[in-house]
Chain A
Amino acid sequence: LAKTTQPISMDSYEGQEVNITCSHNNIATNDYITWYQQFPSQGPRFIIQGYKTKVTNEVASLFIPADRKSSTLSLPRVSLSDTAVYYCLVGDPFGNEKLTFGTGTRLTIIP
């Protein structure tokens, strides 16, 4: 399992773009990068998943450089409701490898 490292916490003002970077130096060839969001008193929610380059959906974008040793989750124009913990996970989704959640990044949006 590739270990991930994320900042423990981040603050940002409403309306700004927020980028959360995750390091995964020992990522394996078959590993994908997946991000989850967790609000207080709720279960984690899948945000986005990618293998290389860039992935975009209606919620966020995921940027993965060519060496895949890191990835950046980008949240455009955040609002107060984006205050949550964001988890970066790395592993092979085609196998039976378990999801391993780290400590995540606690993002606080300031009005």
Chain B
Amino acid sequence: DTAVSQTPKYLVTQMGNDKSIKCEQNLGHDTMYWYKQDSKKFLKIMFSYNNKELIINETVPNRFSPKSPDKAHLNLHINSLELGDSAVYFCASSPLGGGHSYEQYFGPGTRLTVT
């Protein structure tokens, strides 16, 4: 069974469109994250959600919005897509506290290409 899954794996779309990436974890973790890895391979955190509350919100454009319908899901909505949004987006999850918040489990990634 896949621990952290993302859909779609690949997403090609045009500038100005609105798209969503879905993430699900079946590990029972309380915290979920979204990361962006650009073409230079730098991996940067975008959001962190704990018990359906946003606890970390890096300085990302407000065109990006995380949505968590329940503890097992954290979806990423992107409005008015721009060329610079092209990257690989990773979802991750981790147990709450107990010294495990640095032990994160990552999904396979979604490669977003904006044309």
Q: Is the interface of A mostly helix, strand, loop or mixed?
A: loop
Picked from B43, B102, B104, B109, the residue with its CB within 8 Å of the CB of A42 is: B109
Say if the beta carbon of A77 comes within 8 Å of chain B: no
User: How would residues 97 to 115 of chain B score, 1 for a CB under 8 Å from any chain A CB and 0 otherwise?
Assistant: 1011111111111000000
A89 within 8 A of B: yes
Set A43, A91, A94, A99: member contacting B107, Cβ < 8 A: A43
Question: Smallest distance from the beta carbon of B62 to chain A beta carbons, Å?
Answer: 19
CB proximity to A under 8 Å, residues B32-60: 41-45, 48, 50, 55-56, 58
Within 8 A of A (CB), among B51-102: 55-56, 58, 90, 92, 97, 99-102
Interchain CB contact under 8 A, A32 and B99: yes
Q: Determine which residue in A32, A85, A101, A104 has the highest number of CB atoms from chain B within 10 A of its CB, and name it.
A: A101
A positions within 8 Å CB-CB of B: 32, 34, 38, 41-46, 49, 85, 87, 89, 91, 93-96, 98-101, 103-104
Q: What are 17 inter-chain pairs, A to B, with CB distance below 8 A?
A: A32-B102, A41-B109, A42-B106, A42-B108, A43-B109, A46-B103, A46-B104, A89-B102, A93-B103, A95-B101, A96-B50, A96-B55, A96-B101, A98-B58, A99-B104, A101-B43, A103-B41
